[in-house]
């Protein structure tokens, strides 16, 4: 279980929407052409790719901005693109994701693009389109002016450096100074061995090879390199370094002997491209959201572990993180008790991740074996079980003024502690119809002598393409019988 899990979920389920992050750097368009290779060309000893699919994704600094948007942040992008078709493709993708490109300057140079030609997920060729000429001075000054104005109006700034010319030393110095004056976090993803360009940043986030180049120590001599890294912190007025170490995870290096290590969390690695973008975006959002750096690193590791399991440059999405973090085994009982609005958001995120949502409801006053059997039966019908729980007032209206025996808060905590239950939502009405309509479960389950037609909410669930299941009750077990037995023995 991650530290500060409650705070993490609060951010993922709405809190990130208040966080503004500016990404400044080298903007690119990643294009993928996929197909099948079945023969070698008779014209030259090269494979012939039979085209099957083509798609485009924002790359470089634009991918960092996409990751921030995927987390739910207000994402702002600054950099250069040309007046060409690639710009139009990028703009459409960014607009669709909700990324604000107000800081991007139109350049006389072409938009940087990388076209990957792939056969059966194997990259055969990469075609890069970019100019080796520096950006004209007037364009650079325009970018500096825009980014300096924006730097003090956000919660964090990311310098996404791909060594393509957007992040000049002058721009970095002025943006970092403006951000620091406003108390804004600055995170830098370096592509140069000279970290002086990022002097004054909150953190610089190199990978092992980049840190090796900066320290002039071979990457396999990890311990020596990390010791030398601490000198870079002092030399360049950096609060700490965040080093991505591939399968070894992420290491935070602070002043003196301060270090923190987060092991890698990848389940299966298909493609590491874009993983660094995901890490720095998640770090920036998490730190801006008030999480401790150690917690931010752990969350970034989880996010990176998700994206490397995909092919191509793919940003992280809220629902993917929520699905991983809200597995029943990883949540405390308190994290499963949700109010109406938060239950809606969490169920929506689960559904976006492909989970099958099961719903049942009841008073569950004095938990007994019949309840346990019902819930275990419910869980067999899907991957997430949401339990609608009658409030005290609702129970009293249904069962009489002497009930419930156990208060709603205690009942909710007891029910949420069960492994079969993924979420508990209290409802005050006599029936859970409003809750069912809001959550739109895939499967609605009731126990006992019900028929499908007598189950509250069956019409809504079936109309939405779901189904209703009736499971048998365990004979001889009920709260009413338990109460009668207790009274009889007193």
Tell me how many helices (H) and strands (E) the chain has: 18, 19
Q: How far is CA 192 from the centre of its chain?
A: 28
277 classed as catalytic: yes
Cβ–Cβ < 8 Å for 40, 95: no
Q: Is 451 helix (H, G, I), strand (E, B) or coil?
A: coil
* Angle (nearest 5°) at CA 29 between 28 and 35: 145
Q: Which residues pair with 426 in a beta bridge?
A: 389
What lies within 8 Å, CB to CB, of 423 at 6+ separation is 336, 337, 338, 343, 346, 347, 384, 385, 386, 387, 416
Do residues 97 and 72 make contact, with C-beta atoms less than 8 angstroms apart?
A: no
Per-residue burial over 358-372, b = 16 or more CB atoms within 10 Å of its CB, e = otherwise: bbbbbbbbbbbebbe
Pairing of strands 443-447, 467-471: parallel
* Annotated binding-site members for ATP: 207-210
Distance of CA 334 to the CA centre of its chain: 22
- Tell me the C-alpha distance between 193 and 214, whole Å: 4
Q: What is the DSSP letter of 481?
A: H
Residues making up the binding site = 207-210
SS3 for 168-207 is: CHHHHHHHHHHHHHCCCEEEEECCCCCHHHHCCCCEECCE
Q: Which of 161, 277, 365, 422 is catalytic?
A: 277
Task: Please state whether the peptide bond connecting residue 404 to the residue before it is cis, i.e. omega within 30 degrees of 0.
Answer: yes
Provide the b/e sequence for 17-51 (b: ≥16 CB within 10 Å).
eebbbbbbbbbbbbbbbbbeeeeeeeeeeebebee
Question: What is the radius of gyration, based on Cα positions, of the chain?
Answer: 27
Got the DSSP string for 264-333? Answer: ---SS-S--TTHHHHHHHHHHHHHHTT--HHHHHHHHHHHHHHHTTSSSS----HHHHHHHHT-GGG--H
In whole angstroms, how far apart are CA 8 and each of 71, 335, 415, 431, 466?
Answer: 11, 11, 23, 32, 31
List, by residue number, the catalytic residues: 277
């Amino acid at each position: 279980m991650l530290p500060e899990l409650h705070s993490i979920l609060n951010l993922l389920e709405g809190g990130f929407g208040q966080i503004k992050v500016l990404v400044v750097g080298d903007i690119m368009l990643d294009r993928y052409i996929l197909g099948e290779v079945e023969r070698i060309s008779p014209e030259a000893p090269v494979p012939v790719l039979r085209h099957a699919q083509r798609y485009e994704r924002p790359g470089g600094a634009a991918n960092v901005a996409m990751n921030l948007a995927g987390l739910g942040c207000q994402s702002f992008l600054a950099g250069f693109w040309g007046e060409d078709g690639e710009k139009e493709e990028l703009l459409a993708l960014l607009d669709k994701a909700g990324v604000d490109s107000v800081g991007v300057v139109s350049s006389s140079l072409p938009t940087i693009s990388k076209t990957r030609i792939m056969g059966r997920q194997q990259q055969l060729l990469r075609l890069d389109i970019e100019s080796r000429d520096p950006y004209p001075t007037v364009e650079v000054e325009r970018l500096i002016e825009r980014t300096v104005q924006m730097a003090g109006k956000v919660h964090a700034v990311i310098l996404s450096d791909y060594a393509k010319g957007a992040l000049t030393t002058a721009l970095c110095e002025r943006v970092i100074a403006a951000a620091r004056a406003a108390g804004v976090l600055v995170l830098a993803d370096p592509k140069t061995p000279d970290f002086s360009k990022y002097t004054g940043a909150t953190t610089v986030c190199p990978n092992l090879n980049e840190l090796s180049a900066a320290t002039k120590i071979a990457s396999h001599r990890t311990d020596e390199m990390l010791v030398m890294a601490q000198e870079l912190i002092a030399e360049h007025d950096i609060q700490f370094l965040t080093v991505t170490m591939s399968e070894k995870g992420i290491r935070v290096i602070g002043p003196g002997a301060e270090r923190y290590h987060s092991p890698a969390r990848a389940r299966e690695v298909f493609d590491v491209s874009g993983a660094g973008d995901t890490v720095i975006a998640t770090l920036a959002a998490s730190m801006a959201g008030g999480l401790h750096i150690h917690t931010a690193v752990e969350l970034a590791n989880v996010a990176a572990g998700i994206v490397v399991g995909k092919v191509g440059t793919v940003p992280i999405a809220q629902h993917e993180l929520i699905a991983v973090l809200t597995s029943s085994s990883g949540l405390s009982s308190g994290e499963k008790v949700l109010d109406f609005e938060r239950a809606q958001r969490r169920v929506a995120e689960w559904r976006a991740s492909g989970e099958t949502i099961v719903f049942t409801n009841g008073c569950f006053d004095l938990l007994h074996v019949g309840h346990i059997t019902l819930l275990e039966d419910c869980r067999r019908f899907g991957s997430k079980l949401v339990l609608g729980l009658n409030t005290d007032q609702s129970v009293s209206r249904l069962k009489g003024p002497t009930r419930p025996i156990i208060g709603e808060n205690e009942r909710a905590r007891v029910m949420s502690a069960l492994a079969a239950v993924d979420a508990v939502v209290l409802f005050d009405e006599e029936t859970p119809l409003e809750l069912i309509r809001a959550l739109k479960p895939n499967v609605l389950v009731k126990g006992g002598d019900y028929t499908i037609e007598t189950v509250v909410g069956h019409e809504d669930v079936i109309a939405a393409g779901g189904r209703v299941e009736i499971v048998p009750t365990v004979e001889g077990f009920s709260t009413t019988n338990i109460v009668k037995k207790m009274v009889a023995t007193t």
